Amino acid sequence: MSTTLQQAITALKARINNAYAAVAAKGGTLPEKQNTANLAAAIQSIPTAASACTLQDFINAGGKLGYSNLSELTATVRQLDFSNVSDMQNFFRYAAFPNATLALGGDLPNTSYSYAFANVSGSGIDLDAITNNPKLSNITYLCNSSTSLVSARLSRLDVSDCQAFAYTFNNCTSLELLDITGWDLSKSTNNASMFAINNSKLTTLIGNHTLQEVENGGVMTCVGLKQNLDISRLTLLDRASLLAVIKGMADLTGQTGKTLTLGTALLEKLNTADIQLATNKNWTLA
């Protein structure tokens, strides 16, 4: 067999595999034999309209149903059973719960949460009532392009093993309240576009915590941060959130300094003591 023909066969197999992966991501049914003959039927199985299901039914089915309409969502948090869930990657991606909050209870699994809440259609995510602190292995694209989210309470997530936070909240253009209090970024080597939100409405990174709590040292975020971070698009952030980041950043005295990019609007919210705190840790505020 010629090299050219073999390359063509390899490329075709790759395209077929990618097509079936896309079908699965959008909630389609995968056939036992994933070949060209069955691809059309698999594509046709992708839900074109959101079919209602309860939150527990969604979880029991392993999530990833694609554009599923999660019915019976209320403000009441229920203890949910995630015992059969081993992977949260893409789990709630594309789920629809318009004008409602996805409020979870119970224990969440220790696993990858990449894209777990990406592209959702809903007003909020609330994990305050979960009964554990799930240890995440991957958090990239966690809420990517969830443009209708107004609030996300995520402080219960243990992100201390995550090495990249790229695109975590990218394009969350409606987000006003975010609670990532205590998030440990000490192992992160990639924060690219973590907060890439144009025309951001975000006012806080620490939920309902107060400036006094931050000043007293009890509330921080981005704990152990050792890499450059750009939050300059979050022009509405309050001083409490900015100070919580500065207090959380690692002390890089004697090491290569890093930059926290704030932009003019955010820099003007800080006082001389706030800026000096960053400088004393060998950080530049730009």
Residue 85 neighbours by CB under 8 Å, 6+ apart: 59, 62, 63, 91, 109, 111
**Mean pLDDT across 68-75:** 62
Q: In which band, very low, low, confident or very high, does the pLDDT at 219 lie, cut at 50, 70 and 90? A: very high
Kindly report, residue by residue over 8-40, the tens digit of the pLDDT.
Answer: 778 778 777 877 777 776 666 788 888 888 877
Residues 124 and 165 placed together within one structural domain of the fold: yes
What pLDDT sits at residue 38? 82
Residues 166 and 239 placed together within one structural domain of the fold: yes
**Mean pLDDT across 134-141:** 96
**Mean pLDDT across 64-86:** 69
**Mean pLDDT across 127-154:** 96
**Mean pLDDT across 177-186:** 98
Q: Is the pLDDT score of 261 beyond 80?
A: yes
Residues 105 and 222 placed together within one structural domain of the fold: yes
What's the domain range around 83?
50-285
What pLDDT sits at residue 49? 46
Q: Is the pLDDT score of 254 beyond 90?
A: yes
Kindly report, residue by residue over 118-133, the tens digit of the pLDDT.
Answer: 999 889 999 999 999 9
What pLDDT sits at residue 36? 80
Please state the domain count of the chain.
2
Q: What angle do CA 100, 64, 132 make, to 5 degrees?
A: 70
Residues 40 and 112 placed together within one structural domain of the fold: no
Task: Express the helix, strand and coil content of the chain in percent, nearest 5 each.
Answer: 25, 15, 60
Residues 133 and 18 placed together within one structural domain of the fold: no
Cβ(227)–Cβ(188) under 8 Å? yes
**Mean pLDDT across 127-149:** 95
- Give me 131's structure tokens: 């009964």
Residues 78 and 12 placed together within one structural domain of the fold: no
Q: Is the pLDDT score of 138 beyond 70?
A: yes
Residues 42 and 161 placed together within one structural domain of the fold: no
**b/e burial code for range 115-133 (CB count within 10 A of at least 16 → b):** bbbbbbbbbbbbbebbeeb
Q: Which of 200, 161, 163, 159 is nearest to 178 (CA)?
A: 200
pTM, full prediction: 0.80
Q: Is the pLDDT score of 252 beyond 50?
A: yes
84 vs 65, which has greater pLDDT?
Answer: 84
Helices then strands, each counted (H, E), the chain: 7, 9
Residues 10 and 114 placed together within one structural domain of the fold: no
Residues 112 and 240 placed together within one structural domain of the fold: yes
264 vs 7, which has greater pLDDT?
Answer: 264
Residues 30 and 141 placed together within one structural domain of the fold: no
Cβ(246)–Cβ(271) under 8 Å? no
Residues 28 and 116 placed together within one structural domain of the fold: no
**Mean pLDDT across 241-250:** 98
Residues 57 and 39 placed together within one structural domain of the fold: no
- Give me 49's structure tokens: 């309209």
